[in-house]
């Protein structure tokens, strides 16, 4: 018996400042609340920093998201509220000719709002790189 292709894909939609960003739900391992004192959170990059986007204010509802893709696991800070939604072909917007989007796989429109669908492999790579750079001084200390 053949299985029909899914008509919609579950996505987690979160915020970075004014923007709504979407990520394939299957790539998300864990989402947790964070506090300023959380040592794990201090090493994590904000998704807005990774993608060179404006982030929300300090009062924003921040969470830590752990994502995995192609054997890479990375942590990043996102802004809530986070919602689970399903995105299907009718939600996707056609791209203008020649539009190149290095960090996106496309755009969806839901409830009159544009959702930027993130390229999960690139995001994981950026987050991993950020964390590695941040940990370099600690590694240097260990070698001394």
Partner 1 sequence: MSDSSQENAHLAALQEAVSQAARAQAAGDVLRPATDSYLAVRAGPRWLALPATAIREVVLKGSLTRIPLSPPHVLGVAVIRGRVVPVISLEGTLGVADLSELVPTLPRLVVVETAAAEIAVVVDEVRGITELPLTSLVDESTGGARPEWVAAELTWNKRLLCVVDVQRLVQATMEDELRS
Residues at the contact surface with partner 1, assessed by CB under 8 A = 18-19, 51-54, 93-104, 107, 109, 114, 116, 118
Residue placing its CB nearer to partner 1 in the complex, 66 or 105: 105
Minimum CB separation of residue 144 from partner 1 in Å reads: 36
Residue placing its CB nearer to partner 1 in the complex, 81 or 98: 98
Which residue in 21, 68, 40 sits closest to 134, CA to CA? 40
Minimum CB separation of residue 96 from partner 1 in Å reads: 4
Residue placing its CB nearer to partner 1 in the complex, 19 or 77: 19
Minimum CB separation of residue 90 from partner 1 in Å reads: 12
Which residue in 136, 21, 134, 11 sits closest to 74, CA to CA? 134
- Could you tell me the CA-to-CA distances from 57 to 16, 34, 61, 79 in Å, in that order? 10, 15, 9, 10
Minimum CB separation of residue 124 from partner 1 in Å reads: 14
What one-character DSSP code corresponds to residue 38? -
Which residue in 46, 116, 107 sits closest to 77, CA to CA? 46
Residue placing its CB nearer to partner 1 in the complex, 17 or 80: 17
- Tell me the three state secondary structure of residue 143: helix
């Amino acid at each position: 018996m053949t299985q029909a292709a899914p008509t919609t894909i579950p996505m987690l939609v979160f915020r970075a400042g004014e923007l709504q960003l979407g990520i394939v739900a299957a790539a998300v391992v864990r989402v947790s609340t964070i506090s300023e004192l959380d040592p794990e959170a201090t090493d994590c990059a904000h998704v807005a920093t990774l993608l060179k986007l404006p982030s929300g204010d300090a009062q924003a509802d921040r969470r830590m998201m752990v994502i995995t893709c192609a054997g890479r696991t990375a942590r990043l800070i996102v802004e809530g509220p986070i919602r689970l939604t399903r995105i299907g072909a009718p939600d996707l917007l056609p791209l203008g000719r020649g539009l190149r989007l290095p960090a996106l796989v496309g755009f969806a429109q839901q409830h009159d709002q544009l959702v930027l669908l993130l390229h999960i492999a690139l995001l994981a790579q950026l987050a991993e790189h950020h964390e590695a750079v941040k940990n370099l001084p600690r590694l240097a200390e260990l070698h001394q």
